[in-house]
Structure 1
Amino acid sequence: MILIHAGFQLQADKEQSFLEEIRTLITASRTEIGNVSYDLMKDTEKEYEYMMVEVWQDMNSVENHNKSDHFTSFANKAPQYLAAPLRMKIYEGNERIQ
């Protein structure tokens, strides 16, 4: 499994527009082959901070996602909402074995 954490620090006056724009990305991404989960989390300690937490079956699924129309459309618009550069971490993981 591939886990991706994408951190967004938003401009205060752009938060609502960002949330409206990202809703389309979330809905479409959740229907993609290879998507396990795709969730936007709001930081409870910092204003205007969000984290997209994505889980994909494999790197091929991530690559297909990154080429999708809904992702490329959002990626082209995202900089207008940001107060700082996007922060991204990619992890490789395995299901927990008990």
Structure 2
Amino acid sequence: MILINVKYQVKPEYVDRFLEDVDWFTQATRAEEGNIFFDWYKDPVYEDEFLLIEAFQDDAAEPHVKSEHFQRACEEMPKYLVKTPSIINTLIPGKTEWDKMAEFQVD
């Protein structure tokens, strides 16, 4: 699994409609064969910050970044942003499923 977290700082004039305006990208990415999840979260403290949590099958990263919708996002999304997004990504080879949390066991 390729696990990616991206933090976006959105210009004030776009904050209220950002998720609506990029929904085409969200839906197209979720429809990709290798997508596991692609979820946006709005920061409750910093209203202009959004966090994108996404995961793909091990071999799905290249098709994702070569997709038409990703290329469109590269062209269109910068206009919404204050600065270049911050990213953390990692590869967990062969991982595709969620594990149970050992610390909070429920019987």
TM-score surpassing 0.5?
A: yes
The runs of 5 or more residues in structure 1 that have no matched partner are none
Q: Deviations over 1:10-39 (max 9, x none)?
A: 110022453223101111111111111011
Alignment-derived partner of residue 80 in structure 1: 79
- Which residue pairs with 1:45 in the alignment? 45
Q: Higher helix proportion, which one?
A: 1
| Secondary structure, aligned partner of 2:3 | strand
Identity of aligned residues (%): 32
Unaligned runs of 5+ in 2: 103-107
Runs of 4+ in 1 over 3 A off after TM superposition: 94-98
TM-score (norm 1): 0.88
More relative contact order, 1 or 2 (CA 8 Å, 6+ apart): 1
**Inter-partner Cα distance in structure 1 for 2:44 and 2:64:** 28
User: How far is 1:45 from its partner?
Assistant: 1.5
TM-score, length basis structure 2: 0.81
- Which one-letter code corresponds to 1:27 in the other structure? Q
The aligned amino acid for 1:73 is R
Count of residue pairs brought into register by the alignment: 97
